[in-house]
Chain A
Amino acid sequence: MRHRLVCEPSYAAVEIELSPGEELVAEAGAMAWMDDSIRVRTEARGGLLKGIGRRFTGESFFQNTYYVEGTAGQIALAPGVPGDIIPYEMQNEVLIMERGAYLGHIGDIETSVSFEGFRGVFAEGLLALQVTGTGLLFFNAYGDIQEIAVDGNYTVDSGYAVAWQASLDYSIGRTGRSISSFLFGDQLISRYHGKGKLWVQTRSPRTLASWIHPFRRVKSNNQ
């Protein structure tokens, strides 16, 4: 298996060459282009997340498994959002990542969906993915990725945390002295302590969601 990043850093895609016997697991919808010898299987591997608030019930996580038939072949994966891709060698460890950051993996890696949240009135938080095992993991960010070696304390607005090693403790809270929970004015903050790697992105999906809000069509009464 070989891989190559193209169009780095901001519109990165990863081209992966698979040999017979090798399997690439990828987020549904990530395939951008591929050779004729590539085949696909679809499974709901991540499992279903139930009952955590109206927004997340039934949120499922589909992954496709790609393999080749006959000759080796190339498949390209591209994330939905502009930004970096990080190929990360996992060595029998656990990473927690923002749900939309997962792109694909090869090797003995398991993924499961979890809710890492601030169980306050608004049930805000992160829909996260727990990634465990050994192998090569591809994850992406919205924007530039900055790797921070936390040793002590570090604070990040929750929307900007992409992934972190499970060896880090963290708590989710709010910025102090905020007036109300009103979009930009009140930020959900993640405070990390301990020792471990934290990947931070320079753009926030939630802020993008707020920005696009007025451009969306309005529901009509009979919908």
Chain B
Amino acid sequence: MSVEVTNRGAFGSALVMLQPGEEFVSEAGAMYRASGNMDIDVKTRKREGGGLWGALKEGAKAMFAGESFFLSTYRVKDNSPGEVGLAPILQGEVSSLEVGSETWICAGGSFMGASGGVKLDTQYQGLKKGMFSGEGLVYVRASGQGELLVSAYGRISEVEVRGGITIDNGHIVAFTEGLEYDIGKAGGWIASALSGEGLVMKFRGNGRILVQSHDRDRLGGALGPLLPPREG
């Protein structure tokens, strides 16, 4: 199996080449091209427990929050190699991360795909709950061994924690497990409401953090009102 990540201009994509017997998983909507011998198996993701995501309606909401309700599994049908092309929904870069010595936590909407040996926990509840947890704080935990593909809205860069770094929630792509963090507001209630800043995560300790240059919610907030209203 090999994965080729291409980031050309503003648009990233990944081409996954599979040998017979190998498996790759992705967000169901991520596939944009595939060789004729690719078997694509779409299945629902099991939602155990109640909590926020129990009902189908909540599942649909999760999907719109960036976490697909469906995962696709790719395998070749015959005995020759095959390829599947994966891309995110919005414009932005794609990065490949190694899972093994590091366990990664991906923000909602950032998870794009993973090789067969990666264990995905798509209902990761381990995130500390701040006052506003739940809404918009959908995370996927990737452990095990293999390759993880993440996508961003914008450009991906890695930042250093140093004395402490505060990251607006809409700009988090992924971070390694083990980092300490708090969830809150950038400047306190009123200042944040007025300055338009949303939820932030304050990180401390050791680990790696990947951020994205732009925030999907700001695009949605700008574009949504310009479109015709929808039915419910």
A and B touch in the complex (CB under 8 A): yes
The residue in chain B whose Cβ has the minimal distance to the Cβ of A215 is: B224
The residue in chain A whose Cβ has the minimal distance to the Cβ of B37 is: A153
Complex interface residues of chain A between 139 and 189 (CB less than 8 A to chain B): 143-144, 146, 148, 152-157, 159-160, 175-179, 182-187
Does residue A121 face the partner (Cβ distance < 8 Å to B)? no
B9 neighbours in A (Cβ, 8 Å): 8-11, 84, 144
Complex interface residues of chain A between 1 and 25 (CB less than 8 A to chain B): 8-11
Does residue A202 face the partner (Cβ distance < 8 Å to B)? yes
Q: A208-B89, A219-B230, A219-B231 are in contact. Are A202 and B32 (CB under 8 A)?
A: yes
B113 to nearest A CB, angstroms? 13
Does residue B126 face the partner (Cβ distance < 8 Å to A)? no
- How far, in angstroms, from A48 to B174 measured CA to CA in the complex? 48
The residue in chain A whose Cβ has the minimal distance to the Cβ of B87 is: A202
Residues of A within 8 A of B (CB): 8-11, 82-84, 143-144, 146, 148, 152-157, 159-160, 175-179, 182-187, 191, 200-204, 207-208, 210-220, 223
Does residue B8 face the partner (Cβ distance < 8 Å to A)? yes
Question: Max chain B CB contacts within 10 Å: which of A82, A83, A157, A176?
Answer: A157
B24 to nearest A CB, angstroms? 15
Chain B interface residue count, CB cutoff 8 Å, equals 45
The residue in chain B whose Cβ has the minimal distance to the Cβ of A157 is: B32
Q: A9-B9, A212-B220 are in contact. Are A160 and B229 (CB under 8 A)?
A: no
B40 neighbours in A (Cβ, 8 Å): 175-176
Q: Of A182, A200, A212, A218, which contacts B33 at CB under 8 A?
A: A200
For B211-229 the 0/1 string (1 means CB < 8 A from A) is 0000000001101110111
**By the criterion CB–CB under 8 Å, are A202 and B232 in contact?**
no
Does residue B68 face the partner (Cβ distance < 8 Å to A)? yes
Q: Of B28, B35, B221, which contacts A215 at CB under 8 A?
A: B221
B201 to nearest A CB, angstroms? 23
**By the criterion CB–CB under 8 Å, are A184 and B41 in contact?**
no
Does residue B10 face the partner (Cβ distance < 8 Å to A)? yes
**By the criterion CB–CB under 8 Å, are B36 and A184 in contact?**
no
**By the criterion CB–CB under 8 Å, are B42 and A175 in contact?**
yes
A200 neighbours in B (Cβ, 8 Å): 32-33
Q: A177-B41, A215-B224, A217-B230 are in contact. Are A187 and B31 (CB under 8 A)?
A: yes
B63 neighbours in A (Cβ, 8 Å): 183-184
A176 neighbours in B (Cβ, 8 Å): 39-40
**By the criterion CB–CB under 8 Å, are B36 and A177 in contact?**
no
Does residue B69 face the partner (Cβ distance < 8 Å to A)? yes
Complex interface residues of chain B between 38 and 73 (CB less than 8 A to chain A): 38-44, 61, 63-64, 68-70
A208 neighbours in B (Cβ, 8 Å): 89-90
**By the criterion CB–CB under 8 Å, are B225 and A217 in contact?**
yes
The residue in chain A whose Cβ has the minimal distance to the Cβ of B43 is: A179
Does residue B29 face the partner (Cβ distance < 8 Å to A)? yes
B7 to nearest A CB, angstroms? 9
The 4 tightest CB contacts between A and B, nearest first, are: A215-B224, A184-B29, A10-B9, A10-B10
Q: Of B27, B224, B232, which contacts A219 at CB under 8 A?
A: B232
- How far, in angstroms, from A143 to B8 measured CA to CA in the complex? 9
A178 neighbours in B (Cβ, 8 Å): 42
- How far, in angstroms, from A182 to B42 measured CA to CA in the complex? 11
A11 neighbours in B (Cβ, 8 Å): 9-10
B69 neighbours in A (Cβ, 8 Å): 182, 184-185
**By the criterion CB–CB under 8 Å, are B229 and A185 in contact?**
no
- How far, in angstroms, from A219 to B228 measured CA to CA in the complex? 9
Q: A152-B36, A187-B31 are in contact. Are A218 and B230 (CB under 8 A)?
A: yes
A83 neighbours in B (Cβ, 8 Å): 11
- How far, in angstroms, from A184 to B223 measured CA to CA in the complex? 21
Q: Of A146, A155, A179, A215, which contacts B36 at CB under 8 A?
A: A155
The residue in chain A whose Cβ has the minimal distance to the Cβ of B70 is: A185
Does residue B3 face the partner (Cβ distance < 8 Å to A)? no
A201 neighbours in B (Cβ, 8 Å): 32
- How far, in angstroms, from A22 to B230 measured CA to CA in the complex? 43
**By the criterion CB–CB under 8 Å, are A207 and B89 in contact?**
yes
- How far, in angstroms, from A176 to B89 measured CA to CA in the complex? 22
**By the criterion CB–CB under 8 Å, are B35 and A160 in contact?**
no
